[in-house]
Amino acid sequence: MTTETAAPTAAPPSALPEGVREGNENLVRLTEAAGAKVRALVARENQGEYLRVAISGGGCNGLSYKLRFSPAPKRGDILVRSAGAPVLVDVKTALYLKGTTVDYSDRLIGGGFKFTNPNAKASCSCGESFSV
């Protein structure tokens, strides 16, 4: 008599809310330093477990990056898991953000989150605004 044991099955990926898509690091990628800082800020600030990256009009070059925490994804969001941190991007922002790397530096001068966006034709010296 043979006994067959079922192979353990992998847990299904956590279900995304309706209207939310799973993206990848081709859209936005956090470096390990940025991921560690985001995880620390999520724990400290208690404003939500997701980092929302958005682009809005403004800044010295016409468009500027906005970072904030969000308690949950919204319909139409793209969820990217990068460097251990969940990042939310809306579809409009995704058009400008594709291929962007977000880094973090704790230097006293010039520190903070820095964006390297291959779509930007010009950026200001502070790195918080750009034009396409």
Structural domains of the chain, with CATH: 21-131 (2.60.300.12)
Cα–Cα dist 131/57, whole Å: 10
Rounded to two decimals, what is the model's pTM? 0.81
Residue 54, token pair as written in the block: 């958005």
Give the DSSP per-residue string, 46-112.
Answer: -S-SEEEEEEEE-STTSEEEEEEEESS--TT-EEEEETTEEEEE-HHHHHHHTTEEEEEE--TTT-E
User: What pLDDT band is residue 78 in, cutting at 50, 70 and 90?
Assistant: very high
Beta bridge partners of 122: 131
| Geometric angle at alpha carbon 87, from 86 and 89, rounded to 5° | 150
Q: What is the pLDDT of residues 27-69, one digit of tens each?
A: 999 999 999 999 999 999 999 999 999 998 876 557 888 999 9
